[in-house]
Amino acid sequence: MKAKLFAAAILGATLALSACGESPEQPAAQQTTGIPGMKISNARMVLAPVPGNPAAIYFDLAYDGDQALALNRAEVKGAKSAMFHDYGEYDFKVQMMEMLPVPLKKGDKLEFKPGGKHLMAMDVSPDLKPGGTTEATVIVSGGARQTFPVEIRAAGDER
């Protein structure tokens, strides 16, 4: 019995000492910005006519990458949150609703436009003013991100 306890103590001490030894340095995980093959253009944010209401962001997305992806979520600099919306029918009425993830494959082109798919920016900072710019980031399944500049327009401006 004493021999088993002694062996266990030696094994525990050996493991504890080996844990203190230096291990090879691991490379830091890198955050990739930009999704290969994704191009976003014509991005504009249209502010709400009533301050404090959500703003809409419209843009064109072209994907020519080799890996299939799903457009999942978004962030907007200067907004507390953002979400993709689309229009659909519910209870025999067409209404705006949160968009499900959108699969993307090589050659796909999406238009985020008034009356269709769009990005809503919630709780927009009063610092975002017409004539200025901000940044939006789309995030795909797996976490890859594509950040792009967004022109800010007033509620009555061309969408």
Measure the CA–CA gap between 101 and 83, rounded to whole angstroms: 11
- The candidate with the shortest Cα–Cα distance to 112, out of 57, 68, 47, 62, is 57
Specify the CATH number for 38-153; select among 3.20.20.60, 2.70.150.10, 2.60.40.1890, 1.50.10.20. Answer: 2.60.40.1890
- Torsion angle, CA of 95/99/104/107, rounded to 10 degrees? 30
What is the model's pLDDT at position 65?
95
pLDDT band at 66 (very low <50, low <70, confident <90, very high): very high
pLDDT of residue 6: 43
* Residue 28 or 96, more confident: 96
Written as one letter, the residue type at 1 is M
Q: Which of 26, 35, 28 is nearest to 142 (CA)?
A: 35
Report field, pTM of the whole predicted structure over 0.75:
yes
Report whether 159 contacts 58 (CB < 8 A): yes
Structure tokens at 54: 């959500």
Q: Return d(Cα 155, Cα 148) in angstroms, integer.
A: 21
Per-residue confidence (pLDDT) for residue 69, from 0 to 100: 95
Query: Which pLDDT score is estimated for 157?
Result: 85
| Tokens linked to 149 | 């500049």
Report angle CA 153, 54, 104 to the nearest 5 degrees.
Answer: 85
What are the structure tokens assigned to 90, written together?
């519910």
